[in-house]
Structure formats: C-alpha cells, structure tokens
C-alpha cells in the first residue's frame, strides 16, 4: 500500500462542507446512524467553534482538498481518575484509504491529547465494520466488554 504524506491541521469553520461530505461516507458504514446534513453541520459547528481545550477537529489535506477528519472530546473518567479523550468521527475519503492518512490523524489526535495531560482514549465503532475494527486493532486499540447504550430525550 502506498504511504503518502498528507498535511494534518486543525479544522476550520470554512472546512464545513468537506467535513459534512466525509460524515456522509462514515454514516453510510454505520448501522446506528442516519445521515442528516443539517444535523451533522450543526454538530460540526459546535465542535469547530469550541475553544480547543476540550475538543478538537483534525483534518487531512491532499493538496487543498480535505480527504480525512477525526474529532475528539474530553470527559472525566472516574474509572481512570483523570480526564480521558473520546475519539469520534475518524473517516478517510474512500479514494485515500490505505495510504496512512488514518494513522496520521490518530497520531495528531494523540499529540493533542498528550499536550492536555490525557493518557487514555476511547472510541465507539460499529461492531460489523470489520475494516475499521482491523484498523484500530493494528493501531493498538483494545476491545472492551462494555456495550454502548443510548437514550433519546
């Protein structure tokens, strides 16, 4: 597989259209989510307009085109007795997969977390998304015995 170097930078509000397009690809792979451009745009704006201390959006560029993204938010973990990071929305455009973009995004997210004293990351992945689970396994992520539950209010 080809390993290209892509520029990884902080996401910006003006990136929103490219990020929404990436979320459409991601949600097409996840059984629990239905793509809704308006809702995804709203969520991304909340992430992008944050202070950067408690959440971040990293984007991967090939030339001037956004080809990948990853988001992270912090939370207090009573099990770890510290702040942990919740990784969300890691997606690489289908035409750029297998080139190291996902690894680059994870590296940047990990650096962002370490700078904030975070030493533990968590994520949710679709249990039927074998390529994603294989990717995370290769990156050193470990499965847990926890199940994700949700309640709409």
Q: CATH code at 46?
A: 3.40.630.30
- The verdict on residue 151 lying in a domain is no
Phi, psi of 114 (to 5 degrees): -60, -40
Phi, psi of 79 (to 5 degrees): -65, -35
User: Where residue 4 falls among pLDDT bands split at 50, 70, 90?
Assistant: low
User: Which one-letter DSSP state was computed for residue 57?
Assistant: E
- The verdict on residue 144 lying in a domain is no
Residues 83-111: pLDDT tens digits? 999 999 999 999 999 999 999 999 999 99
Region of 52 please: left (phi>0), alpha (psi -120 to 50) or beta: left
- The verdict on residue 1 lying in a domain is no
**What's the CA gap between 49 and 148, in Å, rounded?**
27
Residues 32-79: pLDDT tens digits? 788 999 999 999 999 999 778 899 999 999 999 999 999 999 999 999
User: Where residue 19 falls among pLDDT bands split at 50, 70, 90?
Assistant: very high
Residue 148, pLDDT above cutoff 70: yes
Identify the bridge partners of residue 22 per DSSP, sorted by sequence position: none
Number of structural domains, the chain? 1
- The verdict on residue 104 lying in a domain is yes
Dihedral of CA atoms 136, 141, 143, 147 in degrees, nearest 10, equals -80
pTM of the model: 0.90
């Amino acid at each position: 597989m080809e390993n290209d170097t892509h520029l990884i930078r902080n996401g910006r509000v003006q990136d929103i259209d490219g990020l929404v397009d990436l979320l459409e690809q991601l949600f097409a792979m996840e059984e629990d989510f239905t793509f809704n451009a308006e809702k995804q745009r709203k969520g991304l704006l909340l992430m992008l307009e944050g202070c950067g201390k408690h959440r971040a959006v990293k984007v991967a560029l090939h030339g001037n085109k956004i080809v990948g993204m990853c988001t992270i938010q912090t939370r207090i973990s009573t099990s770890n007795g510290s702040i942990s990071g919740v990784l969300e929305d890691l997606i690489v455009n289908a035409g750029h997969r297998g080139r190291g973009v996902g690894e680059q995004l994870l590296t940047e997210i990990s650096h962002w977390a370490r700078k904030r004293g975070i030493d533990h990351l968590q994520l949710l992945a679709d249990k039927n998304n074998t390529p994603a689970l294989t990717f995370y396994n290769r990156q050193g992520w470990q499965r847990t015995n926890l199940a994700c539950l949700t309640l709409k209010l």
